[in-house]
């Protein structure tokens, strides 16, 4: 159920996993819920940084591989209902999972109830308004693939505005909004490829809505009312 989880994606310094790890920092024994964790590669990194990780995964095979990389594994299909969780959690990560859900708002609202009042919630989704998709539409093409923005397993598609609207409707206050470049292909990266990738990352930050491959949002629970988000983030 999770997004890209191969080790190449984990080690991309400009990728969503690296941004998530950098923002979470050291766990110091705090508890975190990794939603749609796949085989637990991100959970393994979080465990190594002192987090007490609970993995939530639909696929029993992937969940089995995640055991040993975290404190607890909960096998559950969020399309069928929310599992009983031994919260509260100090943080939650939705790494490339919301696009796989038919009703991500219901899931976010439900799992928010397992969070501490000051919990940090980090989510990442692909950007369907990426310039590559826009050009494809101009050519009359909208073709699914085995991975990427138009992965055939995606049930929902997000632009920057619709992603931020989802988080706001879920009662989350966004404190930081980031965009990643198209990820490096697997295999050794030459000096030229690394430099080009850094350039793409800078371009994605300048025009997140068009050049961002994935969006990463850091948020906290709203206390009394919905967040009022900066207008520039919605354009």
Segment 72-128, tens digit of pLDDT: 999 999 999 999 998 899 999 999 999 999 999 999 999 999 999 999 999 999 999
Q: Are 101 and 166 in contact (CB under 8 A)?
A: no
pLDDT of residue 9: 65
* φ, ψ dihedrals at 45, nearest 5°: -65, -40
Average pLDDT over residues 26-42: 96
Between the alpha carbon of residue 216 and those of residues 67, 181, 190, the distances in Å are 26, 11, 26
Contacts of 106 (CB under 8 A, 6+ apart): none
Between the alpha carbon of residue 187 and those of residues 7, 193, 221, the distances in Å are 10, 11, 39
Q: How far apart are CA 215 and CA 85, in angstroms?
A: 27
Count of other CB atoms within 10 angstroms of residue 77: 11
What's the full length of the chain, in residues?
Answer: 235
pLDDT of residue 183: 86
pLDDT of residue 186: 64
Question: What angle do helix axes 16-24 and 41-48 make, rounded to 10 degrees?
Answer: 30
Residue 118's Cβ-count burial label (10 Å; 0-12, 13-18, 19+) is exposed
**What b-and-e string marks burial along 50-61, b requiring 16 or more CB atoms within 10 Å of the CB?**
ebbbbbbbbbee
| Closest to 171 (Cα-Cα) out of 124, 113, 85 | 113
- Tell me the pLDDT tens digit for each residue of 129-174: 999 999 999 999 999 998 899 999 999 999 999 999 999 999 999 9
- Tell me the pLDDT tens digit for each residue of 176-213: 999 999 987 765 667 888 888 899 889 989 999 999 99
Q: Are 211 and 133 in contact (CB under 8 A)?
A: no
Average pLDDT over residues 209-221: 96
Is the model's pLDDT at 229 over the cut of 50? no
pLDDT of residue 184: 75
**What b-and-e string marks burial along 11-47, b requiring 16 or more CB atoms within 10 Å of the CB?**
ebebbbbbbbbebbeebeebbbbbbbbbbbbbbbbbb
Is the model's pLDDT at 20 over the cut of 80? yes
Percent of the chain as helix, strand, coil, to the nearest 5: 35, 25, 40
Contacts of 54 (CB under 8 A, 6+ apart): 31, 32, 33, 34, 70, 71, 72, 73, 74, 85, 86, 89
Helices (H) and strands (E) in the chain, counts: 9, 7
pLDDT of residue 215: 98
Is the model's pLDDT at 7 over the cut of 80? no
Is the model's pLDDT at 12 over the cut of 50? yes
């Amino acid at each position: 159920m999770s997004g890209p989880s191969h080790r190449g994606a984990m080690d991309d310094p400009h990728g969503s996993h690296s941004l998530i790890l950098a923002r979470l920092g050291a766990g110091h024994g705090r508890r975190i819920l990794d939603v749609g964790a796949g085989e637990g590669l991100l959970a393994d990194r979080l465990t190594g940084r002192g987090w007490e990780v609970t993995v939530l995964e639909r696929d029993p095979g992937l969940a089995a591989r995640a055991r040993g990389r975290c404190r607890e594994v909960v096998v559950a299909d969020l399309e069928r209902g929310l599992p009983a969780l031994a919260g509260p959690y100090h943080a939650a990560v939705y790494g490339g999972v919301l696009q796989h859900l038919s009703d991500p708002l219901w899931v976010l609202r439900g799992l928010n109830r397992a969070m501490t009042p000051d919990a940090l919630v980090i989510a990442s989704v692909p950007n369907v308004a990426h310039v590559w998709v826009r050009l494809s539409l101009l050519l009359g093409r909208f073709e699914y693939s085995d991975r990427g923005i138009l992965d055939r397993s995606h049930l929902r598609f997000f632009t920057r505005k619709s992603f931020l609207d989802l988080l706001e409707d879920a009662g989350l206050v966004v404190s930081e909004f980031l965009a990643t470049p198209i990820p490096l292909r697997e295999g050794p990266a030459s000096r030229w490829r690394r430099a080009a990738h850094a350039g793409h990352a800078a371009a994605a930050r300048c025009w997140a809505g068009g050049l961002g491959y994935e969006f990463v949002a850091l948020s906290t629970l709203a206390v009394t009312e919905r967040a009022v988000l900066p207008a520039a983030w919605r354009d």
